[in-house]
Structure 1
Amino acid sequence: MKITLTLLLLVVLNNQAIASFRKEPILNDSLEAYFSLNEVRLLESPFLSLQQKGKEYLLWLNPDSLLHFYRIEAGLPSKAAPYAGWESQEVWGAGPLRGGFLGFYLSSVSMMYQSTGDAELLKRLKYVLKELQLCQKAGKDGFLLGIKDGRKLFKEVADGKIKTNNPTVNGVWAPVYLINKMLLGLSAAYTQCEQKEALPMLVRLADWFGYQVLDKLTNDQIQQLLVCEHGSINESYVEAYELTGEKRFLDWACRLNDRAMWLPLSEGKDILFGWHANTQIPKFTGFHKYYLFTGDQRFLTAATNFWNIVTQNHTWVIGGNSTGEHFFPKEEFAERLLLVGGPETCNSVNMLRLTESLFCQYPDAAKAAYYERVLFNHILSAYDPEKGMCCYFTSMRPGHYRIYASRDSSFWCCGHTGLESPAKLGKFIYSHKKKNAEQENEIRVNLFIPSILSWKEEGVELIQQNCIPESEQVNFILNLKEKRRLVLRIRKPEWTDKATIAINGKVVRPFLDRDGYWVINNVWERKNTITLNLPMRIYTENLVGSGRYIALLYGPYVLAGHLGKENLPVTFWGKMNNTAMNKVDLATVPVFTVPAEQIPTCVESVSAAPLKFKINLKGFEKIVIEPFYKIHFERYAIYWPISY
């Protein structure tokens, strides 16, 4: 790698091309923007139910237990015992991920407050920030982590003693990752909830790591440090620059870009085989953010190539990727499908963050369709309907099942990111450009989720109502303060091919733009209705790289079959254990014995609400099929064997 990089730099110098790498930062006014979470309210749907469960858990958690290790490291007495699981117990010989949950708690409470307006959430946020202020003040140097002897650890690193693997630095589990998550949490408190005290805390922590550690290391030593999982630490430093305008943060961000990933991906190389998936994904959100503030095209290219490679070569039908946490060649999907560990929920959460970032620059239906596939089928299905706890792995093995985190004894990484997803379900439904090229306001509809958009700044209210997949109709009510022109862009979903659109009762044929959105550029009355009919059908998708397994879909939803409750565990809520281990013989799973193109004709609806199907083939007589997200606490099949 050192030789390759040296040669690359020599070529650049010889061709006097360095200037081509450095361009002006991308102006924010030219980007697509998401509405603030407090401008979008969810209506009755499975997504609202998930949001409510997420809020319940945030309010159930004891902030003082999450603050335990921060107070201890600051020399202050603890107010409550820490939680069990990854928070305080030995894991894989790397120790606990002490205090790792709190950064996610900050960002999740901030977003959930914006999404729901629940004043108790803001009260909790303010309390935690006050406590963290006390911890940082007691330490006097800006340090703000729960890592045992964290200052000593990073002093060793700054002195050049760096022994890294994944997931440890000098035997400590992912310490830079924990800095990243605390910085992101403080940023969310500041940007989402206007908690002004969060920004100085963020700056002091970022400066502590920058001055006390990064400035004392060579670039090669920093690259060695980045071998260990570090989240999107590069993103956090770009964000510190964005919030303060202080160039030192952008300079540190440059040094925190992992060369082992951005360089080959900027060259279009798929080198992901064998890499730990969730260690890599967040880096690319950081690469894209770095591009936005520097104009360095290589980092845009790396992020875009990575997204394309993962979505095309490494993704299961539910939108998740990897098995057992690692990427593998597409030729191995049929083999990996048989393993009990399927796609990790963390991976999908972070791929959605990357999609959100890339979409802001190039909004198109392909990115929105991927977002929909992941959100509707992996994220929505990952939470149990009783307690709202998130699973770690969603096995793709036919006839398998899931286990979920416990409230007080797991705190796995997927429970960390699992806090955030219910808090931001309204983020991607709508987006907008402040003004388009013709200086007209526009709203983009990306997802079909019942909700109310209140764009008070422009005097616009857009209400979306639907019961997909039980109903093919989507109704919008557009209310304006006054008669005016507004551009409405509605995504044409790839799962429908005979859609109709009516405006105020009159059928129209809007222009379909090159990005896959219907464009309705009207002068609207104060009250308007837009009605979409989106016919849905059963269709199939082969397993990547194999014709031996096939999945069924209906509209935006992946379908799965109920396969009973044989040999299931006593409880579905794990503690330290995060993998469902009780397999059944694959011979018990029915096999499709007709060609793939004939399978949709064998599927028959048996109930419209709730939506359920049966399969009219031998061996499937007792199998009920419905959207995967509805199946919990029993065995299921997403992929079916096919042999004819």
Structure 2
Amino acid sequence: MWASTHNDTLRAKMSSVVDVLYDCQKKMGTGYLSAFPSEFFDRAEALTTVWAPYYTIHKIMQGLLDQYTVAGNSKALEMVVEMANYFSDRVKNVIQKYSIERHWASLNEETGGMNDVLYQLYTITDDLKHLTLAHLFDKPCFLGLLAVQADSISGFHSNTHIPVVVGAQMRYEVTGDVIYKVSRNLFRWTKEIAYADYYERALINGVLSIQRGTDPGVMIYMLPQAPGRSKAVSYHGWGTKYDSFWCCYGTGIESFSKLGDSIYFEEKGETPALSIIQYIPSTFNWKTAGVTVTQELEPLSSLDMNLQVSLSFSGKNGQSATLNVRIPTWTSASGAKATLNGKDLGSVTPGSLLSVTKQWNSNDHLSLQFPIALRTEAIKDDRPEYASLLAILFGPFVLAGLSSGDWDAKTGSAVSDWITAVPSSHNSQLMTFTQESSGKTFVLSSSNSSLTMQERPAVDGTDTAVHATFRVHPQDAARLHGTHGAALEDTSVQIEPFDMPGTVITNDLTLSAQKSAGSFFNIVPGLDGKPNSVSLELGTKPGCFLVSGADYSAGTKIQVSCKSSVQSIGGILEQAASFAQAAPLRQYHPISFVAKGVKRNFLLEPLYSLRDEFYTVYFNLAA
């Protein structure tokens, strides 16, 4: 993060952390440095139960090495060398006392990227002891399978072995030893667009999905993808800002500090080259070409299905240089377009780099347009019982359907036959109905096919917020543009639960996809006579209203009461039948679609945008 911002406060904090850890290491006097005792490694070497200690050691060593290579802190280099020497002696002792096989067996738990950090350290120290130790963390029983391209790695724990692969990449770069040329490094080596596409997809759907919206430091351990799951009730659920120290917190924080590290790739030479492989608003000082590149994007929505990218240049006396821009594989050649200073650059090919060589200056402007289409992808599992499962994507965005468990979809011959965009005007038809009781605010809620009153959620992004938001659309199309219902008094409307598009509440308090007379309500001035208060009168039974009861608790069911059959005592009926019209607790995401289902329709939104809501990533076509 400091490397991206050069923030003085960050530098002071990280230097302070290094100083304190330095004192701890010196106090122990062996080179060892960790918050847990070295006895954990005795247990690991004896193949007895212990949490993965090398995973944490890797994080500490990598952090210290970065403090040296990025921030120039020589004290940090001294510390990581001491740690490497300590573990070199430990591993050597295990091999001498037992065997090399015992050491390999001890690596069958998470060891992080020990090989990776040790290869990096070797490039600085040239100490063969560090190179040898790096080799000893390469885990040949796994890398060997990859080297011969054997399809025999099913069942291997990914978080244990992906860091080993990253380390193998570093081995290749440091020694030229091709164990296995394994998204970022592979693109840098090969310029294959598939790797850049994979990186984009992992960043949007994997990295951005693990943090709770914009809440800093609130992340999850695992990203659930089964039907009717929520990030909030996943394994461990959401962590906390200051008290969660799972391994994935280290990885998560690292990932969010590197959001911008793979946008631009620079090549120096007689004709400098710059490859732009990720489309993220940013600025790059292209020193070798003598210009600054500014990248801007137009807001993306499901209604304007084009990614619009603008690249502008500033600077004088720039030199001749080559600019390469990625043409994503998810776009279409028929609509993709690139213009330089208003001049069409001709046809562009998805899955390739578009190259322009010129002397760049402040008058240059490169515009890119990439059509984005909806598509489906089968689950990556060849077992017969999963053959009917597919995911829905909008370009690189994985779309999740709001659902408490239903995942049965009804497809058509074309994607457009069963998936449509949510019109932007629908946001103006959203509202939440509230009541005050005993000093609390309650919201009308539709969940599990019943209407209840629930306490207003204290935070955004909850399932309660979803269930308490309704699309209220009038029978008279001329009145479609009210502001959250402000202009809907004395109007006949249908009330559609936010997460059940195409389904409306009926006068008998059920849900139906049939738009019959029994699905209309009259919004009338509130029976309690208060400003901004409305009552919901049944369209088929004038004088009958939705009522909650008075002084209720969360979970109170909505009922129907009629003026003619219920005597008002102290205004209780009037109070129970009156709701305040509030701004909706939920809005449609700019990228929102409706997918047809067997029993109900699904509201689709990008997976990364969801917080506590329940959803399904995969849809079942077998129903």
Alignment of 1:514-529 (within 5 A): 516-529=352-365
Match for 2:414 among 598, 614, 630?
A: 598
Alignment of 1:425-504 (within 5 A): 425-435=259-269, 439-456=270-287, 458-467=289-298, 469-470=300-301, 472-497=307-332, 498-504=335-341
| 2:194 alignment partner in structure 1 | 366
Listed as ranges, the gaps of 5+ residues in structure 1 are: 1-111, 165-169, 305-354, 564-583
Match for 1:613 among 593, 597, 610?
A: 593
- Confirm or deny: 8 A CA contact 1:180 1:231 kept in the other structure: yes
Hey, what's the Cα distance between the residues in 1 that align with 2:615 and 2:320? 49
Structure with more relative contact order (C-alpha pairs < 8 Å, separation 6 or more): 1
Q: Secondary structure of the residue that 2:310 maps to in structure 1? A: strand
| 1:551 alignment partner in structure 2 | 391
Q: Secondary structure of the residue that 1:477 maps to in structure 2? A: strand
Hey, what's the Cα distance between the residues in 1 that align with 2:248 and 2:374? 32
1:590 to partner: Cα distance: 5.1
| 2:482 alignment partner in structure 1 | none
Hey, what's the Cα distance between the residues in 2 that align with 1:121 and 1:510? 46
* Alignment partner of 1:133 is 2:113: no
| 1:377 alignment partner in structure 2 | 205
| 1:163 alignment partner in structure 2 | 46
How many residue pairs match? The answer is 440
1:425 to partner: Cα distance: 0.2
Q: Secondary structure of the residue that 2:19 maps to in structure 1? A: helix
Hey, what's the Cα distance between the residues in 1 that align with 2:619 and 2:60? 42
Hey, what's the Cα distance between the residues in 1 that align with 2:375 and 2:208? 21
| 2:611 alignment partner in structure 1 | 632
Q: Which amino acid is 2:45 matched to?
A: I
Q: Secondary structure of the residue that 1:431 maps to in structure 2? A: strand
* Alignment partner of 1:262 is 2:143: yes
- TM-score with structure 2 length normalisation? 0.67
1:462 to partner: Cα distance: 0.9
Task: Indicate the percent of aligned positions where both proteins have the same amino acid.
Answer: 28
Q: Secondary structure of the residue that 1:422 maps to in structure 2? A: helix
Q: Is the alpha carbon distance of 1:469 and 1:557 closer, same or farther for their aligned partners in structure 2, counting shifts above 3 Å?
A: farther
1:198 to partner: Cα distance: 0.9
Match for 1:201 among 73, 79, 97?
A: 79
Decide which structure has greater strand share.
Answer: 2
1:607 to partner: Cα distance: 3.5
1:481 to partner: Cα distance: 3.0
Residues 423-447 of structure 1 deviation map (CA, whole Å, 9 limit, x = unaligned): 1100011112122xxx210110111
1:237 to partner: Cα distance: 1.3
Q: Which amino acid is 1:541 matched to?
A: E
Residues 236-282 of structure 1 deviation map (CA, whole Å, 9 limit, x = unaligned): 21111111222221122122221211122211112222222211110
Q: Which amino acid is 1:282 matched to?
A: P
Residues 181-220 of structure 1 deviation map (CA, whole Å, 9 limit, x = unaligned): 2111111111122222111111111111113443562433
Match for 2:221 among 377, 383, 392?
A: 392
| 1:242 alignment partner in structure 2 | 123
Q: Which amino acid is 1:121 matched to?
A: L
Hey, what's the Cα distance between the residues in 1 that align with 2:3 and 2:196? 23
Residues 549-583 of structure 1 deviation map (CA, whole Å, 9 limit, x = unaligned): 222211221112223xxxxxxxxxxxxxxxxxxxx
1:458 to partner: Cα distance: 4.3
Q: Please, what is the CA RMSD of the aligned residues?
A: 2.3
Q: Is the alpha carbon distance of 1:617 and 1:599 closer, same or farther for their aligned partners in structure 2, counting shifts above 3 Å?
A: farther
* Alignment partner of 1:421 is 2:400: no
Q: Secondary structure of the residue that 1:509 maps to in structure 2? A: coil
- Confirm or deny: 8 A CA contact 1:482 1:526 kept in the other structure: no
Hey, what's the Cα distance between the residues in 2 that align with 1:204 and 1:375? 35
Q: Is the alpha carbon distance of 1:531 and 1:210 closer, same or farther for their aligned partners in structure 2, counting shifts above 3 Å?
A: same
Q: Secondary structure of the residue that 2:229 maps to in structure 1? A: coil
| 1:542 alignment partner in structure 2 | 378
Q: Is the alpha carbon distance of 1:212 and 1:272 closer, same or farther for their aligned partners in structure 2, counting shifts above 3 Å?
A: closer
- TM-score with structure 1 length normalisation? 0.65
Q: Which amino acid is 2:321 matched to?
A: L
Q: Is the alpha carbon distance of 1:507 and 1:182 closer, same or farther for their aligned partners in structure 2, counting shifts above 3 Å?
A: same
Residues 95-139 of structure 1 deviation map (CA, whole Å, 9 limit, x = unaligned): xxxxxxxxxxxxxxxxx1122332211111010110111112212
Listed as ranges, the gaps of 5+ residues in structure 2 are: 233-237, 425-588
1:530 to partner: Cα distance: 0.3
Q: Is the alpha carbon distance of 1:190 and 1:615 closer, same or farther for their aligned partners in structure 2, counting shifts above 3 Å?
A: same
Decide which structure has greater helix share.
Answer: 1
Q: Secondary structure of the residue that 1:173 maps to in structure 2? A: coil
